[in-house]
Chains A and B, each alone.
Chain A
């Protein structure tokens, strides 16, 4: 038998490669841009609580807790909170020690798929996330669901990613996933508002994180100006109304994914490019930048536990673990090992509940 590479070479050479590939790809991008502009020219926000009208907004904060029906078998308060994470193409939940692992939506549930970017509501009763409503590129939007997988609601019509709840649980900040801006929308889907400029103005802003006191939003920004080597995202912060943007970090590496400590004094973030990423922490004014994880250990997706430690994912020898460390870099330890295909993690509030049985969702 000839060697395998020769056979594969011969087989691969049978695939024609069109010389127009580059032009066709750019044409594809332009078509998509035009389609998005047309979509944006129409109604850009869909509220899926049809028939409930404005009353829904007024009642939303009062409705959140009762929307999960008590269950004698699984409605268990978890003083240590729960962890939401992206497992494969879905969002999963588990206890912080890795036990009781399950998908947010039960098998066969009518939910957008794949799912990304889980974000707990401050009450721990809801999860916001990015979900695909169609198979094509860009066919994803912002969704909110109860933590038992019920009451799935689409909040935006257009591309939305990386949600972050305001501390009172009434608003959600999100980005437009590489399209430039950070927006805020009410948790019931009304009142969409743009906070940062469009990409045409020279920036791409992503991964907003609302401060615990609700006054500030941290995010990462890459500028398209200047030499390409200088185009590394850095951490910025702004007032929650979009004013007062200021740069916090000026590192030589890309700095992304800010996460506020529960007391609002520190911001953890990812430094470096995959796979050489480390977790850093800085004071909320940008001073005191310091690494929390050693070079050589791939670490990403920082999130704070409610008792003020930093949790994140690490990869060692092909295994992905959930690891925690104190803000001074001490007491690093793996709390849930060998999680499999996990890309993102978010630690839930201590008031979270275990999901309800998958026997069906209450109506309404």
Chain B
């Protein structure tokens, strides 16, 4: 039986310093974006590292893309969506009570801003973080979220209304 031989995904020469410069520029933004999207600090770093590890493995192709940063943010947001799905499944099935307690204690450490963000639907939260915090245009955010710029703007509009009400109520 034949077998698939493994190769080093990227040679050192191919990866070069370009990737390190890319990493240094994107990593803090990725970690903080994921934190704003509800991940705890450890999870946020773990997902950011995973997204960038995947980018590293395909770096020769990714560095030719129009927006390597957008590609990595898409991976990171997908990882975060999987995380949310896993949490939702666990909560529904109540299979991991310890984890639920961890989540609750983690939630208690959150600020008013964080709670207000958490009250948004996931899609609105992503749009707010990309546009309001990362200062992406609605076109750039739309490319990451695979939405039209109009849809991004619509989500931002709705999210702002909710955040305004919640933050005023919370006295932020």
B13 touches A319 (CB 8 A): no
Decide if B155 is an interface residue (CB 8 Å cutoff): no
Enumerate chain B residues within 8 angstroms of A199, measured Cβ to Cβ. Answer: 7-11
Minimal beta-carbon separation of B130 from chain A (angstroms): 11
Of the candidates B2, B67, B129, B160, the one having the most CB atoms from chain A within 10 angstroms of its own CB is B2
Interface residues of A in 36-75 (CB under 8 A from B): 36-37, 39-40, 43-45
For B5, B50, B58, B129, which residue has the most chain A Cβ atoms within 10 angstroms? B5
* Chain A positions 275 through 314: 1 when the CB is less than 8 Å from some CB of chain B, otherwise 0: 1100000000000000000000000000000000000000
User: A218 vs B106: C-alpha distance in the bound complex, in angstroms?
Assistant: 52
Judged by a CB distance under 8 angstroms, whether B24 is at the interface is: yes
Q: Which residue of A lies closest to B18 (CB)?
A: A228
**Interface residue A192 (Cβ < 8 Å from any Cβ of B):** yes
* Beyond known contacts A12-B35, A40-B4: 13 more, CB 8 A cutoff: A1-B164, A2-B172, A7-B167, A11-B114, A11-B117, A15-B32, A25-B23, A28-B49, A36-B6, A45-B1, A180-B7, A222-B60, A224-B10
B57–A40 touching, CB < 8 Å: no
Which chain A positions have C-beta within 8 A of B11?
199-200, 202, 224
- Indicate if the CB atoms of A24 and B49 lie closer than 8 Å: yes
Report the Cα distance A183→B65, complex, angstroms.
Answer: 26
A275 and B52 contacting across the interface, CB-CB below 8 Å: no
Chain B residues near A5: list those with CB within 8 A: 132-133, 135
Q: Give the chain B neighbours of A331 by CB distance below 8 A.
A: none
Name the B residues within 8 Å of A32 (CB-CB). Answer: 53, 57
Chain A 1-33, CB-CB to B under 8 Å as 1, else 0, gives 110110111111111111001101110110011
A 185-229 to B, binary, CB cutoff 8 A, 1 in contact else 0: 000001111100011101010000000000000000010100010
Which A-B residue pairs are the 9 nearest by beta carbons?
A318-B148, A44-B3, A15-B35, A224-B14, A12-B32, A198-B7, A8-B133, A199-B7, A178-B58
Complex interface: chain A residues within 8 A of B105 (CB): none
Identity of the chain A residue whose Cβ is nearest the Cβ of B168 in the assembled complex: A1
Assess whether A25 is in contact with B53, with CB atoms less than 8 Å apart.
yes
A interface size (C-beta, 8 A):
69
> Is B4 within 8 A of A192, CB to CB?
yes
Please give, as numbers and ranges, the residues of chain A lying within 8 Å of B135 by CB-CB distance. Answer: 5
The answer on a CB contact under 8 Å between A21 and B63 is no
* Residue A90 CB within 8 A of the other chain: no
**Highest count of chain B CB atoms <10 Å: which of A15, A21, A36, A192:** A15
Judging by beta carbons under 8 Å apart, are B16 and A8 in contact? Answer: no
**B20 an interface residue at 8 Å Cβ cutoff?**
yes
A193 CA / B3 CA spacing, docked (Å): 8
- Does B147 make an interface contact (CB < 8 A)? yes
Set of chain B residues within 8 Å of A137, measured between Cβ atoms: 50, 53-54
Bits for B52-92, please: 1 = Cβ < 8 Å to A, else 0: 11101110110111110000000000000010001000000
Residue count of chain B within 8 Å CB distance of chain A: 69
**Which residues of B129-157 have CB atoms within 8 Å of chain A's CB atoms?**
129, 132-133, 135, 142-143, 146-151
Q: Is the CB of B63 within 8 A of A44?
A: no
Q: How far is the CA of A10 from the CA of B111 in the complex (A)?
A: 10
Complex interface: chain A residues within 8 A of B127 (CB): none
A263: CB under 8 A from chain B? no
A254 touches B (CB below 8 Å): yes
List, in ascending order, chain B residues with CB within 8 A of A198's CB: 5, 7
Q: How far apart are the CA atoms of A190 and B160 in the complex, in Å?
A: 56
Q: Is the CB of B143 within 8 A of A43?
A: no
Bound Cα distance A2, B170 (Å):
13
The 24 listed contacts between A and B (C-beta, < 8 Å) are A4-B160, A5-B135, A8-B36, A8-B113, A15-B44, A16-B45, A21-B49, A22-B20, A22-B24, A28-B53, A33-B8, A40-B6, A137-B54, A159-B4, A183-B4, A192-B2, A194-B2, A199-B8, A200-B7, A224-B11, A224-B14, A228-B64, A231-B64, A274-B143
Could you say which residues of chain A place their CB within 8 Å of the CB of B41? Answer: 15-16
Q: Is the CB–CB distance between A276 and B66 below 8 Å?
A: yes
Chain A's nearest CB lies how many Å from the CB of B40? 9
In the complex, how many angstroms separate the beta carbon of A42 from the nearest chain B beta carbon?
8
Report Cα–Cα, A39/B4, bound state, in Å: 9
Contacts of A11 in B (CB 8 A): 35-36, 111, 113-114, 117
Query: CA of A159 to CA of B20 in the docked complex: distance in angstroms?
Result: 26
- Asked if B86 contacts A15 (CB within 8 A), the reply is no
| Per-residue contact bits, chain A 232-254, to B (CB 8 Å; 1 contact, 0 not) | 11000000000000000000001
Contact status A224-B132, CB under 8 Å: no
